[in-house]
Amino acid sequence: MLIIKLTRRFYFTYIMKKIGIAIHGGAGTILKSAMTDEKEKQYTEGLNNSLITGWRILEQGGSALDAVTASVIELENNPLFNAGKGSVYTNDEKHEMDATIMDGKNLEAGAVCGVTNVKNPILLARAVMEKSEFVMMSTKGADEFAKLNNIEFASDEYFHTEHRYKQLQKAKESGKAFLDHTLEKDMKKGTVGAVAVDANGNLASATSTGGMTNKKYGRIGDTAIIGAGTYADNKTCAVSCTGTGEYFMRTVAAYRVAALMEYKKLSLKEAADEYIFKILTGIDGDGGLIAIDTDCNIVMPFNSEGMYRGFVKTGQEVEIKIYK
């Protein structure tokens, strides 16, 4: 666990403002016994950089939407995590990335799936939300829209990481597709995401992923689907999920948490726990989620061995955790 002291300026200037942000870098078989001190330090620093980047935006009066965008970009740029630069390989040795973003203030949302060579898919998802009449774009069409909106592309070499390529070879030998953290016990990287509430009480959520190692047939997971992997509504909460996407799609995970709050009148913690430990676990699904509400309550439940996660909020120090 990493504890970082916040500035005196924070306490005096923002003590009455309920702002906060939480991030995740994937859930799965994450065991301390399989982690070196150096690798743990790298993950902790990566999560901290993402968290602080989003927090500074909120601290300066910025929007939750800008905060989650910035935090996810930091994780997409870090090859340790399965999103953007660190995305896993498909069966045909390519990278197909998905991302979503949602604004709790007005329920506007943007999503992209199966995009290739887009450096930061979360920026393309936001462009879909803000610069088109659509919610979701896919594959070549999404890439074309990215070019029209000057979204930055990167070469195949930019996305290549040797450990990801080795993961693919092992997955091909088995003949199966894998989440990167399920292939071996020391492979722990996964979907990334962020949720936040700003000083105006607006919520936002963003999620990005490189999908499954050795996936075929253009498989799309929950990250690209509003209500499954990502959801935000000022009436309830903002949610970002990570885990085996098929289970989150079948249970409409992110929206389910919000619905439990709205219609069953559960608290954020009660709703998130009911989803993870009853609904998801009840169908043998695995993973976790992060969620925040307008009162700046933050929860990060998971039913796997670990989840890369962290948060900071008004009156509370930065906290980053990896294991149970």
Active centre residues (catalytic): 191
Q: Taking a C-beta distance cutoff of 8 angstroms, is the pair 141, 114 a contact? A: no
Q: To which residue do tokens 């592309």 refer?
A: 153
Ramachandran angles phi, psi of 22, nearest 5°: -130, 150
Rounded CA separation 294/19 (Å): 9
Q: Taking a C-beta distance cutoff of 8 angstroms, is the pair 97, 209 a contact? A: yes
Q: To which residue do tokens 């935006």 refer?
A: 57
Q: To which residue do tokens 């309920």 refer?
A: 18
Give Cα separations from 8 to 15, 91, 317 (angstroms).
10, 51, 12
Rounded CA separation 7/318 (Å): 11
